Amino acid sequence: MRGAFTVSRDRFGEHVGYVAGFGAYWATCAGAAIALSGRAGPRRSFAEVRPRLGRPLTLGAVLLLWPPVGAIATRFVPEIRSADVPMVATIAAVGTVNAVIEELFWRGVYIDLWPDDPWLGWLWPALGFGAWHLAPQVIHRSSMGPVPYVLSATALGLSWGWVAWRTKSLRWVALSHAITDGSGIRNARFFLGT
């Protein structure tokens, strides 16, 4: 994906290249998820399960709550004052699309293929999820810097992955992910070109 973002940037410029890079990434993730888990995979991945957050329940709740709470406190609250309606609507839409597609690929596929193997069903995809976050930094470098950003994405992958692997469902994980991604209002500028 790093190559896709580089080619997109060089061919279309930073704004369109960033959007095209994500388009290629989302298409790849969605295509791979359907190819590997089948057409019923997405529906199966979002099924309601009990216990909803895994066992122990408190651990599952903490692992799902810390990402959006942190994002709301450190990004949404400071950035909302300078946002307009198109920015909020854009990041809400991008956050939702990104969360659903990433969860289908980075959690759903691995759980389908290795439901009883914590290394392949939970830990390995969390490492891949973290590493993938280097790709878009070809165009838009994180304010945290590449290594801290990848480490924080890996921590998110480990948290969401644990809940998804324990419950075999993406329902609550995708919601946590969408709220987290939708809290970065400033990121809407890269999709809007402002």
Q: Which mean pLDDT values do the consecutive 10-residue runs of the chain (194 residues) have? A: 96 95 97 94 89 91 98 96 95 97 97 96 97 95 93 98 96 97 92 85
Report the distance separating Cα 80 and Cα 92, nearest Å: 13
According to the model, what pLDDT value does residue 190 have? 86
**What ranges do the domains of the chain cover?**
2-192
Structure tokens at 30: 């969605």
Report the distance separating Cα 20 and Cα 191, nearest Å: 10
DSSP state of 84: -
According to the model, what pLDDT value does residue 48 have? 87
Report the distance separating Cα 22 and Cα 82, nearest Å: 25
Question: Which residues have C-beta within 8 Å of that of residue 46, sequence separation ≥ 6?
Answer: 169, 170, 171, 174
Question: Which residues have C-beta within 8 Å of that of residue 71, sequence separation ≥ 6?
Answer: 179, 180, 181, 183, 184
According to the model, what pLDDT value does residue 143 have? 87
According to the model, what pLDDT value does residue 51 have? 85
Report the distance separating Cα 185 and Cα 181, nearest Å: 9
Structure tokens at 97: 């699309």
According to the model, what pLDDT value does residue 50 have? 85
Report the distance separating Cα 94 and Cα 116, nearest Å: 32
pTM score: 0.95
